[in-house]
Amino acid sequence: MEQGSTEDFPYEGNWEGTGVVINSKGEEKVRYKETLEIKLIKTAPVNIYMITSSTYKEADPSFSMHFETGFIKLLPATEEGNKVEMSLTHPFSINEFSFGSYNKDTKALTVEAGKEHLMRGNTAQGKSTTGFKREYTITEDGSLHYKMYLGVDDNDLYHHLTGELTKSVS
């Protein structure tokens, strides 16, 4: 993919859909609705996208659950695809720096952050996030599907979130 071109990065746009929180025992805990915006903000020397996501309980839209905002840096293509850096800020006092790849043929975007790439603020409470992995795909019908994996307190990653979003009509 040439820098400045978004035709091979189908994630750009506004998305809406639903998801589910899964606990470490594999049990569905909460269903939620989500909005996601991915917008190209810079094209040279690399493509940089702004990303913003918000979720709220499906059963109670007035109950906000989570927000995150940040950037996706899509580095120039190689034979293996594009390298990706993602930086996200979460309101519960965590900054996440993830690294991975984007494959334009399969439309798969995968990034992962180890303990050394998760910064915890002074006001963070509860369990300590020690790993996070995001797997995004765009299906043949144009839907965005994701699975996210969470590691806490130095335990292995477990499947934590699943979602399916459709692109909003502009």
What are the two backbone dihedrals, phi and then psi, of residue 53, each rounded to the nearest 5 degrees? -130, 140
Q: Give the model's pLDDT for residue 156.
A: 96
Residue 84 bridge partners (DSSP): 74, 100
Q: Residue 46: how many CB atoms within 10 A of its CB?
A: 15
Domain boundaries, the chain: 13-167
At 7 the pLDDT is: 58
Give dist(CA 111, CA 56) in Å, integer. Answer: 24
What pLDDT score was predicted for residue 4? 45
CATH topology of domain 13-167: Lipocalin (2.40.128)
Q: What is the pLDDT of residues 116-134, one digit of tens each?
A: 999 999 998 889 999 999 9
What is d(CA 133, CA 39) in angstroms, rounded to the nearest whole number? Answer: 22
Check whether 42 has a pLDDT greater than 60: yes
Distance CA 8, CA 107 (A): 8
Flag the least confident range among 13-17, 72-76, 112-116, 159-163. 72-76
Give the DSSP letter of residue 68.
E
pTM of the shown model: 0.91
Across 110-119, average pLDDT: 97
- Integer Cα distance of 35 and 44 in angstroms: 28
